[in-house]
Amino acid sequence: MQNKINLNGIGMTSQRTRERLLGRLIDQGIGSMEVLDVIRSTPRHIFLDEALSHRAYEDVALPIGYNQTISQPYVVAKMTEALLRSGPITKVLEIGTGCGYQTAVIAQLAKSVYTIERIRPLMDRAKKTLKLLGLRNIDFMHGDGSVGWVKYGPYDAILTTAAPQQIPHELLQQLADGGRLVIPVGGDSRQELQLITRTGQEFETTILAAVRFVPLLVGQVQH
């Protein structure tokens, strides 16, 4: 693990509640110790409104305002594990910062993270929370992530936490040779979590799971 979070002053809910979540992830097939350790040490409750924080260690997606949701821990673990499968990752692009929970997980496992969110108040709140955790290897952009972030590319890992109908071409182009993209693809009712691995100009697709994400909204940014 490269970047440790700072837990000073952040109350943790009971050890037992968090261990129960870890047990659930293991039961569902998450095997990477690296990923499990990071999920164990990431205080999910500080990403939620106080009224919902008692549910933070349940393995469910929960509302974060603006019609968006914090990702389900199992899905965060599954996506992160897929990105790490063939070795350490250096530079990651994330589309859909949301409350920043997935960002916090990946930032502890990569050298630098570039994250894009189209709803400014969500991005501002995520920035504050991630700063509180002492994670300094994250750059934020308010904008439409479906076109990627050319300036810092190519990336050896890209993850999207909102689902497009089809994979945006720009994301494939910004993937480094040997790089991996994890992305939910499909309409409202049913999506596939796909892992795309790039070798030269070839893109190999593996289906990881059936999932439900909020839609990736293309071409419009909300202020």
- Written as one letter, the residue type at 146 is S
Q: Are 158 and 145 in contact (CB under 8 A)?
A: no
Asked if residue 161 binds ligand SAH (CB under 6 A), the reply is: yes
Name the minimum Å distance from CB 46 to ligand SAH.
Answer: 12
Question: In Å, how far from its chain's centre is CA 160?
Answer: 7
Does residue number 110 form part of the binding site for ligand SAH (CB under 6 A)? Answer: no
Measured from the CB of residue 71, what is the shortest distance to ligand SAH in angstroms?
4
- In the residue annotation, 71 being an active-site residue is answered as yes
Separation in Å, CA 160 to CA 24, 178, 180, 205: 24, 18, 12, 15
Contact status: 101 vs ligand SAH (CB under 6 A):
yes
* Token couple for 47: 């990403």
For ligand SAH, give the closer residue by CB, 124 or 177: 124
75 vs 89: CA distance, rounded Å: 19
Q: Is 174 in the site for ligand SAH (CB under 6 A)?
A: no
What would the two tokens of residue 136 be? 């300094």
Spatial contact of 62 and 52, defined as CB atoms under 8 Å apart? yes
Marked catalytic residue, from 71, 112, 146, 189: 71
**Nearer CB in complex with ligand SAH: 81/144:** 144
The verdict on 68 binding ligand SAH (CB under 6 A) reads yes
Binding residues for ligand SAH, rule: CB under 6 A, are 64, 68-71, 95-96, 98-99, 101-102, 116-119, 122, 144-146, 161-162, 214, 216-218
